[in-house]
C-alpha cells in the first residue's frame, strides 16, 4: 500500500475519530438525558416535545432551502472561495429566518403544538443557523472545533435541562428554553472560534455561484423532507391513529436505534469528505470496496449485539411508564441498518453531484412509508410504524446500491450483505415476539461473526494490532 493510498485511509479514520469525539460524546450525553425526560415529563408531554422537534425538522429544509448541503459540497471544491460560499449561505439563512417568522400563524393552527408555536419558530431559526455553521466549520477543515463545539453544546444542554426541569420544574417550557439557550451559545462559539464573522465580512454575495448552490441544494429539500417522512412521520401518524401518549412511547423506542444512526452519521460525515476527494481524483474502486466491506461488517454485528440485550436494557433505561418500549426497538434497529446503507451510497451521489437521483430514491421510499403507515398502524399499532420504517429504508438502500454503480462501479459482496440481513431480520422478529429470544440471538450473533470473520480479522489486523505494535516498539 503506497503512501498516497495510506493517506486516504488515514484521512477517513482521522476524520471519523474527530467527528466521533464531538458527535458521539454529544449524542451519548443526549442519550443519558432520555431518563431525565421520561421521569420529568409525562408520556403526553414527551409526545408533544417530540412533535415540536419533528415539525421543526420538517420545516427547516423548506425555509433554509437545504443550503447547508450546498455549503459542504462547494466548500470542498478547491476552485471556490470559501468566504463567498459562507456569505451566500448566511444570505439564504437570513431569508429563511424571516420566512420562519412569517409562518408563525400557520404553526399555531396545529392544535397539538399551538401553545408552543413561539418556541417552534425560535428553535427553527437557531437550529437552522447552527446546522449550517457546523457544516461550514467541518468543511474548511476545522474538525477539532466541530468536535469541541458539539461536546460543549451538549454539556450546556444537559446542565440547562437539569436546572430547568429538575430544580425549577418548568416542564415543557424548561425543555424548550434549554434547547434555545444551548443552541445560541453554540452559534456564538462557532462564530468566534471558526472565524465566521471575519470571513463573512470579507466575503460577498455572488449571485452566479449562489444560483449554482441553489441548483445543487433545491433537490435536497425534497430529499430531506422525504427522509423526514420516513424517519419522523411515524410519530405524527401514531399520534393521529392512536394517541399522543403512544407517540411518546414510539419516540422513546426510537432512541435506542438512534445509537446506530449516530455511529453511521459520524462515519458518513467523514465518508462524504473522503468520497468527494476520491471521486474528484483517482476514483479507486478498491478504496470504495474495502470501506463498504468494513462498514457492513461492523454495523450488522453491533446491531445484533444491541438486539440481544434490548429487553433488560430498556427496562433499566426508561421509567415504568415507558417499560413496553423494548418490543418496538428490534424492528426499528433493523430499519436503522438499512438507513445506514442508504446513507453510505448517498455519499457517492453527492460526490458525483447527482442530487436529483438522491431526491428520487428517497421520495419513492417516503411514499412507501406513508402508505404502509396508513395500513399497518391501525392494524397492529406501534409495531406497524416500525415495519413501515424498516421497509422504506430498505427500498432506499436497494435502489441506491444498484443505481450508484453508474458513478462508481465497485465490488459489492452481495452474499455477505444478503445473508447478514437475513440473520439480523430473523433475530429482530424473534426478539420482537419474545420467542426464545436469548438463544436465537446467540445463534444469529455467532452466525454473523462467522460470516464476516475475514473482514473482521482484516480490520483488527490493520487497526488494533498495528497500533499496539507501533506504540510497543
Q: Is residue 468's pLDDT more than 50?
A: no
d(CA 371, CA 378): 12
Q: Average pLDDT in the 241-253 region?
A: 79
Q: In the prediction, which pLDDT does 282 show?
A: 65
- pLDDT tens-digit series, residues 33-80: 777 787 788 778 877 887 888 889 889 999 999 999 899 889 988 888
d(CA 286, CA 364): 30
- pLDDT tens-digit series, residues 371-407: 999 999 999 888 888 889 889 888 888 888 888 888 8
Q: Average pLDDT in the 408-424 region?
A: 83
The number of angstroms, rounded, from the C-alpha of 63 to the middle of its chain's C-alpha atoms is: 20
Question: Exposed (0-12), middle (13-18) or buried (19+): which is 52, by Cβ within 10 Å?
Answer: buried
Cell digits for 236?
405524527
Go through the chain and tell me how many residues it has: 473
Residue 440: pLDDT band with limits 50, 70, 90: confident
Q: Which of 117-126, 134-143, 261-270, 294-303 is modeled with the greatest confidence?
A: 117-126
d(CA 306, CA 326): 11
- Spell out the alpha helix ranges (H) of 242-284: 244-253, 257-280
- pLDDT tens-digit series, residues 174-222: 999 999 999 999 999 999 998 898 898 888 999 999 999 999 898 888 8
Q: In the prediction, which pLDDT does 7 show?
A: 63
Q: In the prediction, which pLDDT does 472 show?
A: 44
Cell digits for 470?
507501533
Residue 156: pLDDT band with limits 50, 70, 90: very high
d(CA 464, CA 15): 17
Q: In the prediction, which pLDDT does 471 show?
A: 45
Lowest model confidence (mean pLDDT) among 143-157, 208-222, 345-359: 345-359
The pTM of this model reads: 0.70
* Residue of 256, 236, 260, 262 lying closest to 327 (CA atoms): 256
| CA-based R_g, the chain, Å | 22
Q: In the prediction, which pLDDT does 130 show?
A: 95
Q: Is residue 252's pLDDT more than 80?
A: no
Q: In the prediction, which pLDDT does 280 show?
A: 65
Q: In the prediction, which pLDDT does 54 show?
A: 81
| Residue 442: CB atoms within 10 Å | 13
Q: Is residue 149's pLDDT more than 80?
A: yes
d(CA 153, CA 246): 30
Q: Is residue 469's pLDDT more than 50?
A: no
Contacts of 26 (CB under 8 A, 6+ apart): 150, 151, 153, 154
Cell digits for 376?
399497518
Contacts of 276 (CB under 8 A, 6+ apart): 73, 76, 347, 350, 351
**Percent of the chain scoring above 70 in pLDDT:** 88
- pLDDT tens-digit series, residues 314-331: 766 665 656 667 778 888
Q: Is residue 273's pLDDT more than 80?
A: no
* Residue of 154, 217, 471 lying closest to 353 (CA atoms): 217
Q: What is the mean pLDDT of the chain?
A: 82
Q: Is residue 466's pLDDT more than 70?
A: no
Contact 295, 344 (CB under 8 A): yes
Amino acid at each position: 500500500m503506497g503512501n498516497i493510498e495510506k493517506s486516504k485511509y488515514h484521512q477517513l479514520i482521522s476524520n471519523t475519530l474527530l467527528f466521533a469525539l464531538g458527535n458521539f460524546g454529544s449524542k451519548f450525553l443526549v442519550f443519558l438525558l432520555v431518563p431525565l425526560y421520561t421521569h420529568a415529563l409525562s408520556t403526553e408531554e414527551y409526545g408533544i416535545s417530540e412533535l415540536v422537534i419533528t415539525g421543526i425538522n420538517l420545516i427547516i429544509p423548506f425555509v433554509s432551502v437545504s443550503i447547508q448541503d450546498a455549503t459542504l459540497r462547494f466548500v470542498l471544491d478547491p476552485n471556490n472561495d470559501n468566504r463567498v460560499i459562507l456569505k451566500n449561505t448566511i444570505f439564504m439563512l437570513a431569508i429563511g429566518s424571516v420566512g420562519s417568522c412569517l409562518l408563525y400563524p400557520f404553526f399555531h393552527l396545529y392544535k397539538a403544538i399551538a401553545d408552543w408555536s413561539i418556541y417552534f419558530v425560535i428553535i427553527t431559526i437557531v437550529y437552522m443557523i447552527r446546522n449550517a455553521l457546523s457544516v461550514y466549520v467541518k468543511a474548511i477543515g476545522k474538525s477539532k472545533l466541530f468536535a469541541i463545539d458539539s461536546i460543549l453544546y451538549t454539556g450546556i444542554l444537559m446542565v440547562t435541562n437539569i436546572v430547568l426541569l429538575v430544580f425549577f420544574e418548568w416542564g415543557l417550557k424548561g425543555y424548550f428554553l434549554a434547547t434555545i439557550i444551548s443552541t445560541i451559545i453554540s452559534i456564538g462559539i462557532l462564530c468566534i472560534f471558526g472565524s465566521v464573522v471575519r470571513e463573512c465580512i470579507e466575503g460577498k454575495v455572488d449571485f452566479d455561484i449562489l444560483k449554482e448552490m441553489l441548483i445543487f441544494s433545491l433537490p435536497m429539500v425534497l430529499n430531506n423532507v422525504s427522509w423526514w417522512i420516513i424517519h419522523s412521520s411515524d410519530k405524527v401518524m401514531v399520534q393521529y391513529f392512536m394517541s399522543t401518549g403512544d407517540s411518546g412511547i414510539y419516540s422513546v423506542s426510537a432512541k435506542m436505534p438512534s445509537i446506530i444512526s449516530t455511529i453511521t452519521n459520524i462515519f458518513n460525515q467523514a465518508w462524504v469528505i473522503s468520497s468527494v476527494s476520491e471521486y474528484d481524483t483517482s476514483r479507486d474502486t478498491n478504496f470504495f470496496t474495502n470501506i463498504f466491506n468494513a462498514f457492513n461488517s461492523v454495523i450488522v454485528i453491533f446491531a445484533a449485539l444491541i438486539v440481544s440485550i434490548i429487553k433488560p436494557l430498556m427496562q433499566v433505561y426508561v421509567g415504568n411508564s415507558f417499560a413496553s418500549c423494548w418490543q418496538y426497538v428490534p424492528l426499528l434497529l433493523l430499519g436503522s441498518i438499512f438507513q445506514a446503507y442508504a446513507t453510505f451510497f448517498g455519499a457517492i451521489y453527492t460526490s458525483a453531484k447527482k442530487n436529483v437521483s438522491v431526491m428520487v430514491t428517497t421520495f419513492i421510499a417516503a411514499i412507501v412509508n406513508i402508505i404502509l403507515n396508513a395500513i399497518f398502524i391501525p392494524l397492529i399499532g406501534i409495531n406497524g410504524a416500525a415495519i413501515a420504517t424498516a421497509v422504506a429504508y430498505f427500498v432506499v438502500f436497494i435502489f441506491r446500491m444498484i443505481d450508484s454503480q453508474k458513478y462508481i462501479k465497485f465490488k459489492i459482496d452481495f452474499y455477505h450483505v444478503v445473508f447478514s440481513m437475513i440473520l439480523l431480520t430473523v433475530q429482530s422478529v424473534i426478539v420482537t415476539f419474545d420467542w426464545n429470544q436469548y438463544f436465537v440471538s446467540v445463534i444469529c450473533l455467532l452466525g454473523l461473526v462467522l460470516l464476516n470473520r475475514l473482514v473482521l480479522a482484516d480490520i483488527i489486523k490493520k487497526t488494533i494490532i498495528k497500533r499496539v505494535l507501533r506504540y510497543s516498539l
